[in-house]
Structure 1
Amino acid sequence: MNGVSEVFPEAEHRECMYHLVQNFKKRYSGKVFDEHLWASAYSWSPYMFDKHYQAMAAAKAEAMKYLQDTHKKLWTRSQFGTASKVDYVTNNLAESFNNWIKGEKQKHLDDLMGTIRQKILIKWNHRKRVARKFEGKILPHIVQKLKDDSYNLDIEVITSSPEGARLEDHVDDFFSVQKFKDAYAGSIPCIPDKSMWPKATLGFFMHLPCLKSTGGRRKNRMKSAVEGGSKKKSKKHECPICHELGHHWYTCKNGNLEDITAMEAERSGTGSNDYTVPLQSMYLAPFHEETVQTEPMEVVLPQPSPKKKIGLKKKLTPKKLSIVPACPASPASPASNTRSKKKVGFK
């Protein structure tokens, strides 16, 4: 990180707020930091930044001393310069660029630079065509952003008024349509292709780099609730009757009563499957209710074959098999026939 200030001494060196918070959480945590740390980074004015900073310093002074000693780069919008119009507090631009060339990183350096140049030419041509369609003074998405930001302020953003006040007069020229057109008005000069380079014999062959996939955090990072991200949304149930969310069919009040009755009949088992077919519909000829004497016909239905239970057979070992001695003979009596005559038993 020190090389940036040496190579670009006049450049503004900022620090990624996401990595700052991850390192900060390893040492300090609490509700006061969840409420004021990210808020201080997004603060535009020095007054609001100092307000959030002092709230954290009053709760834990050593935490603020840690920030001053270890994170000396710029990480709050209140300290950003006005020369650069990028107000990001994270390194999302670098992450987006790395994802843009993710499929080309395995190439040689010269091939990689040629591929990046081709991507820039395509992007340059696309934005030049977009700039030709813009009209007005301020970019359309900037005007829309001003309207969205003023939604909760209970004011109305207008582009002009009878008094002569115009929205364009209060927006920086950097966000004007003319600046956008000037940025892509030029053309990138052509350079010789790799096939036109002079041939050279190096005495060795340079193979492609061996890249191994390394573990790490996910690239498409989701903002937490502390950063202002959306909370987890619970999926609502859709009613099959009225197709509205938030209730079931048996509590539906906006649906058709016949549909609800049919649904109840289907769920209770008295639906269309249990409908009794009239006897008239079973014959092709006209049916007359007359008594006709016919011989009774016996209908034999096939009997289902009994299923055999498959189980483990228990083997009788000599220890479990025992012989019970025979009982002595008893005198003949009327009750002798009711006595057990079993001589051998199993324990």
Structure 2
Amino acid sequence: MPAFEVVMPMVDHRICVRHLYANFRDIGGYRGLALKEQLWSAASSYTEYEFNDHMEELKKMNEAAYEYLSQIDPSTWSRAWFSDYPKCDLLVNNICECFNSYILKAREKPMLTMLEMIRKKLMRRYQVKREGIKKLTGKLTPRIAAKLEEIGLQAIDCIAQYAGDSMFEVTCPDNRQYVVDLGRRRCGCRQWEITGIPCSHAVAAILYDCGDPEDYVDECFTIEVYKKAYAPVIYPMPSEEQWIKTSHDKLEPPRGRIAPGRPKKLRRRAPDESRDPRNPYRMRKYGARMRCGKCNGVGHNKRACPTNRSEASNSKKSDTPIVSFSYI
């Protein structure tokens, strides 16, 4: 983190809340559904007063858990303290996980082979994206346009009143009021500043002003910027035997130490994660007692049922032939 502050000071450094909760639960020892929901509520809050309310509720539930979270900078894990520069409100590192699975086969290869596989995949991906962008119409990318349309449906229930100087007072169905400043592109709920997409309160004010909500979306979500993102070409490369020979000595790889055992390819999963690749959302049954489907007993299954032994012994007795001898 100190290195990022020096090299890339404009980067908004964040912590994945999912991993934060894992440490909160396993290292801190603060378990329970109520504490989990309170932590996620505090992380999902867009305003400071909502964040403080959820933290106070957490303090009433468990003061030690409150002290544990208070030691972590809230600007790294709560939306209420996020910077409005990145235009992103993500709380988890799903983007990193998606790219990690995208290069899963390349990760186990040697360094040069791995980089070459990633280059080829990205070269192909960039060209596919450029071909797809040519088919897009309108101003915004499709997902953002669909999201803005959904927000517009929510704005129907909001009532906007013009106060002057491009400022509006918007009343919601729950009787909450928010101040919307169209000139500065800000709303009291802070969703507009964090995400770059007008919230339902802002859309209500924009429609009252007879404007187009698409004109108030941040330019990073436009098709033009989308084209610029994939405009650079990753050029093809010849095979190694066609490379230019130099007079320098050939670099030898560092001496590696082969660790004992088979190398692991999959990441370490949390205790509450599913091990079934066919059903990754299946949860494990913690605390559930095994019940036998044969004798309805508790603590064993049909294979280890005690009745199997008695049946086996009875079958052996019944299979023993009875021989009768007659003497003449």
Instruction: Give TM-score scaled by structure 2 length.
Output: 0.57
- The letter of the residue matching 2:90 is Y
1:224-271 Cα distance to aligned partner (Å, 9 max, x none): xxxxxx999xxxxxxxxxxxxxxxxxxxxxxxxxxxxxxxxxxxxxxx
Separation (CA, whole Å) in 1 of partners of 2:216 and 2:144 = 12
Separation (CA, whole Å) in 2 of partners of 1:152 and 1:168 = 16
Question: Counterpart of 2:89?
Answer: 87
Partners of 2:129 and 2:230 within 8 A in 1: yes
1:1-347 equivalences under 5 Å are 4-5=4-5, 7-26=7-26, 27-69=29-71, 74-149=76-151, 155=157, 164-189=210-235, 193-195=239-241, 196-198=243-245, 202=250, 212-213=263-264, 216-217=268-269, 311-313=319-321
- The letter of the residue matching 1:68 is S
Partners of 2:17 and 2:43 within 8 A in 1: yes
| Cα distance, 1:188 vs structure 2 | 3.4
The structure-2 alpha-carbon separation of the partners of 1:192 and 1:150, relative to structure 1 and needing over 3 Å to count, comes to: same
Instruction: Give TM-score scaled by structure 1 length.
Output: 0.55
| Cα distance, 1:62 vs structure 2 | 2.1
The structure-2 alpha-carbon separation of the partners of 1:46 and 1:91, relative to structure 1 and needing over 3 Å to count, comes to: same
**Secondary structure at 2:269's aligned position in 1?**
coil
Separation (CA, whole Å) in 2 of partners of 1:74 and 1:139 = 28
| Cα distance, 1:120 vs structure 2 | 1.2
Question: How many pairs were matched up?
Answer: 231
- Give the helix-richer structure, 1 or 2: 2
Separation (CA, whole Å) in 1 of partners of 2:72 and 2:52 = 19
| Cα distance, 1:5 vs structure 2 | 4.5
- Give the strand-richer structure, 1 or 2: 2
Q: Percent identity?
A: 25
The structure-2 alpha-carbon separation of the partners of 1:231 and 1:47, relative to structure 1 and needing over 3 Å to count, comes to: farther
- The letter of the residue matching 1:108 is P
- The letter of the residue matching 1:25 is R
What is the alpha-carbon root mean square deviation over aligned residues? 4.0
| Cα distance, 1:205 vs structure 2 | 7.7
| Cα distance, 1:193 vs structure 2 | 4.6
The structure-2 alpha-carbon separation of the partners of 1:185 and 1:311, relative to structure 1 and needing over 3 Å to count, comes to: closer
1:85-143 Cα distance to aligned partner (Å, 9 max, x none): 33221121221111111111232212211221111111111111121112111222112
Separation (CA, whole Å) in 2 of partners of 1:23 and 1:206 = 35
**Secondary structure at 1:133's aligned position in 2?**
coil
Separation (CA, whole Å) in 2 of partners of 1:312 and 1:60 = 68
| Cα distance, 1:58 vs structure 2 | 2.8
Partners of 2:38 and 2:58 within 8 A in 1: yes
Separation (CA, whole Å) in 1 of partners of 2:210 and 2:119 = 46
Separation (CA, whole Å) in 1 of partners of 2:263 and 2:15 = 28
Separation (CA, whole Å) in 2 of partners of 1:66 and 1:192 = 54
The structure-2 alpha-carbon separation of the partners of 1:208 and 1:135, relative to structure 1 and needing over 3 Å to count, comes to: farther
Separation (CA, whole Å) in 2 of partners of 1:122 and 1:201 = 34
- The letter of the residue matching 1:188 is I
| Cα distance, 1:54 vs structure 2 | 1.8
Separation (CA, whole Å) in 2 of partners of 1:54 and 1:168 = 38
Separation (CA, whole Å) in 2 of partners of 1:201 and 1:182 = 40
Larger radius of gyration: 1
**Gap regions ≥5 residues in structure 2:** 159-199, 275-280, 284-317
